[in-house]
Amino acid sequence: MPALRLVSYNVRIQMTTPFYTEPHILAYPVEYLAGIDLYNAGEFHAAHDAWEERWMGPVAPDEKLFLQAMIQSAVAFHHLQIGRPGAARQMYLAAKEKFGRLGCKVFMSLDLEDYQAQLDRALSWLTSVPDPRTIEQPTIDPPVIRLIDGSSVSTVA
């Protein structure tokens, strides 16, 4: 059974590896992979910073949209860590909207359907009431980001 690490009050993450393979390392920007490592370690604000560094640069519009969705999903968990469920809900809903606009099942080797299903399991409670500050935060398991089979990796410029 994978070890669990308590990240903050009521947030657990599973500590298993690997999250990506050598073909992913060769194909994708270091900021993307660093963000994955940080996110999976429960360092959501730091993951946001890594992805934002790439997002702020000259990237294609679809990658920019994808990175913004990833940033917002990380920020949702960061807001929960610091006790701001209302702000977490806003970021969760914004991320869902952007993932929907991407219109694909896989992007940069991330299975978006699986990631969004994990995101919904962890955060859908935020939308169960008009104001999520009025209910006790359940114990949540943030998504674990694992890139899919490296044999179909396409290089991102």
How far apart are the C-alpha atoms of 70 and 112, rounded to whole Å? Answer: 10
Report pLDDT digits (tens) over 50-104.
999 999 999 999 999 999 999 999 999 999 999 999 999 999 999 999 999 999 9
Number of domains in the chain: 1
Q: What is the CATH number of the domain that holds 140?
A: 1.10.3450.10
Report pLDDT digits (tens) over 94-143.
999 999 999 999 999 999 999 999 999 999 999 999 999 898 889 999 99
Residue 4 has pLDDT above 60, yes or no: no
pTM of the model: 0.85
Residue 9 has pLDDT above 60, yes or no: no
pLDDT of 39: 97
In a domain? residue 157 = no
How far apart are the C-alpha atoms of 149 and 146, rounded to whole Å? Answer: 9
Give me the domain span that covers residue 130. 3-152
How far apart are the C-alpha atoms of 114 and 90, rounded to whole Å? Answer: 21
Q: Determine how many CB atoms are found less than 10 A away from the CB of residue 81.
A: 17
Radius of gyration over alpha carbons of the chain, in Å? 15
Three-state DSSP at 124 gives: helix
Q: Name the H helices within the chain.
A: 22-27, 30-40, 44-55, 61-81, 85-102, 112-123
pLDDT of 127: 94
Report pLDDT digits (tens) over 19-54.
999 999 999 999 999 999 999 999 999 999 999 999
Give residues with Cβ within 8 angstroms of 34, minimum separation 6: 50
Residue 18 has pLDDT above 80, yes or no: yes
Q: 149 falls in which pLDDT band (50, 70, 90)?
A: confident
The DSSP result for 74-120, as a single string, is HHHHHHHHTT-HHHHHHHHHHHHHHHHHH--SEETTEEHHHHHHHHH
CB 13 within 8 A of CB 141: yes
In a domain? residue 87 = yes
In a domain? residue 51 = yes
CB 106 within 8 A of CB 100: no
In a domain? residue 134 = yes
In a domain? residue 65 = yes
